[in-house]
Amino acid sequence: MSNRDELMKLVKGTVAEGTVTLASGATSDFYIDGRQTSLDSRGLYLTSQLMWERIKTMDVTAVGGPTMGADPIVGGILMAAAADGAHLKGFLIRKEAKAHGMQKWVEGPPLKDGERVVLIEDVVTSGGSALKAIEGMRTQYSPTIVKILCLVDRQAGATEKLKAAGYDYEALFTRKDLGR
C-alpha cells in the first residue's frame, strides 16, 4: 500500500457522521477531525512526508499555519526536512494576538519581509480560516506565501476563495477522495 493510500485510509477513519457547525459557521452532516490523523504517530509521519515531498521543491525557508490544526503537522514537516538534511523554520499563527507579553500573532523564529513560506492547514472548508491567519500574520510579518497546503479540502469554496485572493492552494485529499 502506498503512503498516500495508507494516509487516506487513516483520514477516512476520522470522519464522524452527524450535524456539526464548522469554523466557517456553516453546518455539515459530517466532520473530519484532522487532529485524529496528525496526533497519531503514523498519521503524522505520513502527512508530514507527503507534504514535505511537495514543499522541498519550492525554495521556501519556513512552514507554519493557524494553531491548533497546523501545530503537529508543522512539527512533523520540520522533522521530515531535518531528516532530509534541509533547514526550515516553523511558525504558528494564533487566532488573535496575545493579550500579554509581546502581544504576538505569530510564534516561532522571526520571518524576514519577503521570506518565502508555505501555510499549512489540516482541514479546509471555505478558506476563511487561512485568510484570517494570513491577515493576523501580516500584522507582524510580510512574507511571500508560496502555497497554502492542507490535509483535506471539504470542497466548500476554499479553492475558489483562496485562488481569488491570489494564493496557490493544494490539498492532499478532497471530500471526493474520501467518498463524501
pLDDT in tens, 1-47: 899 999 999 999 988 888 878 777 778 787 888 999 999 999 999 99
- Tell me how far apart the alpha carbons of residues 89 and 110 are, in angstroms, rounded to a whole number: 9
How far, in Å, CA of 33 to CA of 69, rounded?
Answer: 9
**Between 97 and 173, residue with greater pLDDT:** 173
**Positive or negative, the Cα torsion across 54, 170, 130, 41?**
negative
Mean of the per-residue pLDDT values for the chain?
92
Per-residue pLDDT band for 87 (boundaries 50, 70, 90) equals very high
Residue 103 sits in which domain range? 3-174
**pLDDT number for residue 74:** 98
Kindly indicate the confidence band of residue 163, based on its pLDDT and cuts at 50, 70 and 90. Answer: very high
CA atoms of 165 and 177, how far apart (whole Å): 25
Residue with cell 453546518: 27
**179 inside domain:** no
What does the pLDDT average to over 137-147? Answer: 95
Q: Tens digit of pLDDT for each residue in 88-125? A: 999 999 988 767 766 789 999 999 999 999 999 999 99
Closest CA to 179 of 155, 147, 146: 155
pLDDT value for 18: 81
23 domain-assigned? yes
Q: What CATH number is given to the structural domain containing 159? A: 3.40.50.2020
pLDDT score, position 141 = 94
Q: Where are the strands (E) in 10-107, listed by range?
A: 15-21, 27-32, 62-66, 89-93, 106-107
Confidence at residue 101, expressed as pLDDT on a 0 to 100 scale = 66
Q: How many domains does the chain have?
A: 1
Q: For residue 180, is it within any domain?
A: no
**Residue 6, pLDDT score:** 97
Asked if 176 contacts 13 with a C-beta cutoff of 8 angstroms, the reply is no
* Domain assignment of residue 80, yes or no: yes
In a domain, 141, yes or no: yes
Domain presence at residue 120: yes
Which pairing describes strands 116-124 and 169-174: parallel, antiparallel, or unpaired? unpaired
pLDDT (0 to 100) of residue 98 = 67
Rg of the chain, C-alpha, whole Å: 16
